[in-house]
Structure 1
Amino acid sequence: MKTDSTVQDGILFVRFSGDLLGSPDSQQILDTVNSHLGDSILNCAIDLSNVRYINSTGIGVLVSLLTKYRSRGGELILISPAEHPRKMLAITKLNAIFTIVDDDAAAVEQLKTVS
């Protein structure tokens, strides 16, 4: 799995590609996010459009990140999950917990209302 991150408009954008399966990927993701939490970045948008497959460990990482942001008064949004991640979110009923948007612009707009 590949991870790319940028900060834009005070929002951490993290883009994943490949399969989100757990170690060592989960540690890489947590390290990326933790490195920005100290920068007082309270909101995060995770792009899942290029994630082919996600398992329970990958879902757990997303839940962990959501908890990190919400416990600091921020929010985490998922951008355009691909077919398999979208199905996994629906099966686990986490699609009711996560805010899911179609693109970066919608994520920025949604996160502006949180700040």
Structure 2
Amino acid sequence: MKTETAVQDGILFVRLSGDLIGSPDTQQLLQSVDQHLGEELRHCAVDLSEVRYINSTGIGVLVSLLTKFRSRGGELVLINPADHPRKMLALTKLNAIFSIADDATAAAQQLKTVN
């Protein structure tokens, strides 16, 4: 899995590609996000458009990220999940928990409406 992070307008944007299946990559992702949380960020957008496959560990990572931001009074939005991640979110009924946006602009607009 490949991870890219950027902060724009007070929002942490995380772009993932490859397979989100729980390997040293997921620990690296969580550590990277934790470093940014030290910058007092409260909102995050995770781009899943290039994630081919996600398993239960990957779902757990997304839930962990959601919890981190909500516990700070913020929010996390998923951007355009690819077919398999979208099916897994529906199967686990987490599509009712996560906000989903079509693109980064829509995600930023959703996050700006959250206090």
Question: TM-score range, shorter-chain basis?
Answer: over 0.9
1:1-115 equivalences under 5 Å are 1-115=1-115
Instruction: Measure, in 1, the Cα distance between the counterparts of 2:74 and 2:23.
Output: 26
Count of aligned residue pairs for this structure pair: 115
Write the letter of the residue equivalent to 1:85: P
TM-score (norm 2): 0.99
SS in 2 for 1:114: coil
Q: What CA distance in whole angstroms lies between the structure 1 residues aligned with 2:31 and 2:58?
A: 15
Q: What is the Cα deviation at residue 25 of structure 1?
A: 1.7
* Runs of 5+ consecutive residues of structure 1 not aligned to the other structure: none
CA shift, 1:40, in A, is 0.4
Offset from partner CA, 1:53-112 (integer Å, 9 cap, x none): 000000000000000000010000000000000000000000000000000110110000
| % identity of equivalent residues | 74
For the aligned residue pairs, the C-alpha RMSD in angstroms reads 0.5
Question: What TM-score, normalized by structure 1, do the two folds share?
Answer: 0.99
* Alpha-carbon distance between aligned partners in 2 of 1:26 and 1:3, rounded to the nearest angstrom: 9
Unaligned stretches of 5+ in structure 2?
Answer: none
User: How far did 1:23 drift?
Assistant: 1.8
1:23 maps to a residue whose letter is S
Structure 1: 4+ residue segments shifted above 3 A: none
